[in-house]
A and B are shown apart, each in its own frame.
Chain A
Amino acid sequence: MLDGINPGQYIPADSLIHRMDPRAKLIVTVISVLAVILASSLSALLVVLIWSVLVARMSGIKAVFYWRSLKPLWVLLLFSFFFRACFTPGKPFIDTGFLMISYEGIISAGWLVWKLALLVLTSAVVTFTTTPLQLTAALEQMLMPLARIGLPVREMSMMVNLALRFIPTLFQETRLLFMAQWSRGAAFTRGRITDRLKGLVPFIVPLLTNVYQRADELALGMETRCYRVGAVRSRMKPLQFKPLDVVAVLSSNLVLVFVLVQRLG
């Protein structure tokens, strides 16, 4: 039941995007997201679309994967479309008296869905082309200035790293527990809602117990490998901005500037 869950998983390939500095990727993503949100004219939205598709193409990842990352969101997209279409006043397109859908509503809903899809696409490019390790390294470096005011940036990025590392393990464990308790007649999917909630106990208690045990073992493992809180560690592969990264950041800025000019002009 939990087999298919791998949201935004890293997909190895050898592309320009894969080779970019993860920090550059994050910066480009933030700027692209801003551009998508701020795009207000058709030409602006087209430019943003072309930019996103171009980046997605350059990532060397099959379109199927992007399509799959959109698929679980169709309910959200449908709802956004529906609500925006129904609650935007304007010239009536369909009017049942109880519910009125306006021309303006349909157009604005279309925009919204287009923008949401672009946002998903943009973030999918990052998660598909960047390993979690690279991502947290980038976050750590970018947040480093905050360490000056006493924020434990290194420790936080280590925590994120560990959390990401254990997601698949937890899924697997959950699956096993589900099977084991099902084999003992546990009913998670039958009966009234209170019964179902009670049915979760044999499932959650051992899951949590195992998580704590694992955390304990992990802490011991880290200590025996001389992990110390607050210690500065060196990197095997230091992050480095290359010309490619500069080009990418500049181009994304160009897109944003175009969008802003359109908005103001």
Chain B
Amino acid sequence: MEMTALKDIKLNIFPGEFLVVAGSTGSGKSTLVQHFNGLLLPTNGRVKVLGKDTTDKKHRNELWRLVGMFFQFPECQFFNATVYDDIAFGLRNLNLDEKTIARRIREALAIMGLPDEVKFAHPGKLSDGTRRLAAMAGTLAPRPKILVLDEPGAGLGPKDKKIVFDRLQCLQKSSGVTIILVTHDMEDAAAYAERVALLKGGQLLRVDKARHILADTGVLREAGLRPPYAVELADRLRQEGIHLPSMPLTVADAAKLLGSLLKQKAGD
């Protein structure tokens, strides 16, 4: 059985941006991002990463280092007795000397906000959130220029999820890494995305600034996604004749806007 997984996709991703690739299950978002590090090659059309075609063999062999790929449930990939050895796996594949490796591991753990002692721990003994952060450190250690994350929050509690995403955002802001996040959760998109690419049935429905797409409940519903709570709330309020001064995307935004509105009312 063969089918076309993706078609008519024209998407430019800019260096250093935080892009969310969103779509419902089976929309082709995972397939799309697997083209970004050369895991998949297009049967038709072209994928250029960092200026070069992914079909270029030499370029493709280097891509794994330049594009960090983070899969769902990455803790299932651990195969070493310590976190240290696991993070070192990618670095050793780069043929770095042990001193540099040790330094890079320290750095990567610090970026993820983990204490240095974690590296001596057995991956199986860590909590879910810590383990996910440790796995992420393993992806970061080879210093990729682009980070692709396929549902990195899957299976995590809200608190751990926030820590993971905050760390990613922090990394993007401080070191200019391009982040491509795959998700179907518009709350995550609302909190972190600069731009959003919406996929539906293997096609690009729309790509635009996050605040434009997330405020458009129609296009989100068309993509089979649930709009952010704050946007739904603003919509309901507008139906009731209450107009917020601007469109809130996150619950925190909405709280702020409502607070000022109430204060204004009290002042009248």
Q: Report if A and B associate in a common complex.
A: yes
- Decide if B74 touches A180 in the complex (CB within 8 Å): yes
Residues of chain A at interface, number, CB under 8 A: 19
- Decide if A179 touches B89 in the complex (CB within 8 Å): no
**CB of B76 closer than 8 Å to a CB of A:** yes
**CB of A182 closer than 8 Å to a CB of B:** yes
- Decide if B93 touches A179 in the complex (CB within 8 Å): no
Instruction: Annotate B28-60 by CB proximity to A: 1 below 8 A, 0 otherwise.
Output: 000000100101000000000000000000000
Given known pairs A182-B64, A183-B64, the reply for A205 and B79 (CB within 8 Å) is yes
**Contacting residues, chain B, for A225 (C-beta < 8 A):** none
Partner of A210, one of B39, B76, B139: B76
| CB-contacts of A160-218 with B (<8 A) | 173, 176-177, 179-187, 201-203, 205-206, 209-210
Partner of B71, one of A176, A201, A203, A210: A176
Residue of A nearest to B34 (CB): A179
- Decide if A202 touches B64 in the complex (CB within 8 Å): no
Given known pairs A201-B79, A210-B76, the reply for A183 and B93 (CB within 8 Å) is no
Give the distance in Å from the alpha carbon of A179 to the alpha carbon of B148 in the complex. 13
**Contacting residues, chain B, for A210 (C-beta < 8 A):** 76
A207: min CB distance to chain B, Å: 9
Give the distance in Å from the alpha carbon of A183 to the alpha carbon of B69 in the complex. 6
Instruction: Annotate A50-75 by CB proximity to B: 1 below 8 A, 0 otherwise.
Output: 00000000000000000000000000
Residue of A nearest to B73 (CB): A176
Give the distance in Å from the alpha carbon of A200 to the alpha carbon of B79 in the complex. 11
Given known pairs A179-B34, A179-B39, the reply for A184 and B89 (CB within 8 Å) is yes
B170: min CB distance to chain A, Å: 23
- Decide if A184 touches B76 in the complex (CB within 8 Å): no
- Decide if B71 touches A180 in the complex (CB within 8 Å): yes
- Decide if A184 touches B138 in the complex (CB within 8 Å): yes
Instruction: Annotate B105-140 by CB proximity to A: 1 below 8 A, 0 otherwise.
Output: 000000000000000000000000000000000110
**Contacting residues, chain B, for A203 (C-beta < 8 A):** 79
A209: min CB distance to chain B, Å: 8
**CB of B201 closer than 8 Å to a CB of A:** no
Residue of B nearest to A213 (CB): B76
Q: Taking each of B78, B79, B139, which has the highest tally of chain A beta carbons within 10 Å of its own beta carbon?
A: B79
**Contacting residues, chain A, for B69 (C-beta < 8 A):** 179-180, 183
Residue of B nearest to A179 (CB): B39
Residue of B nearest to A185 (CB): B93
- Decide if B37 touches A183 in the complex (CB within 8 Å): yes
Question: How many CB-defined contacts (below 8 Å) exist between A and B?
Answer: 54
Q: Taking each of A176, A183, A187, A206, which has the highest tally of chain B beta carbons within 10 Å of its own beta carbon?
A: A183
- Decide if A184 touches B34 in the complex (CB within 8 Å): no
- Decide if B65 touches A180 in the complex (CB within 8 Å): no
A170: min CB distance to chain B, Å: 13
A9: min CB distance to chain B, Å: 11
- Decide if B78 touches A206 in the complex (CB within 8 Å): yes
**Contacting residues, chain B, for A184 (C-beta < 8 A):** 64, 77, 89-90, 93, 138-139, 142
B120: min CB distance to chain A, Å: 19
Partner of A187, one of B65, B71, B76, B93: B93
Instruction: Annotate B74-86 by CB proximity to A: 1 below 8 A, 0 otherwise.
Output: 1011110000000
Give the distance in Å from the alpha carbon of A177 to the alpha carbon of B78 in the complex. 10
- Decide if B64 touches A206 in the complex (CB within 8 Å): no
**CB of B94 closer than 8 Å to a CB of A:** yes
Give the distance in Å from the alpha carbon of A209 to the alpha carbon of B79 in the complex. 9
- Decide if B89 touches A202 in the complex (CB within 8 Å): yes
Give the distance in Å from the alpha carbon of A195 to the alpha carbon of B78 in the complex. 20
Give B contacts to A, CB under 8 Å: 34, 37, 39, 64-65, 68-69, 71, 74, 76-79, 89-90, 93-94, 138-139, 142
Closest 9 CB pairs of A and B: A185-B93, A205-B79, A183-B69, A184-B90, A180-B77, A202-B79, A206-B79, A180-B71, A185-B64
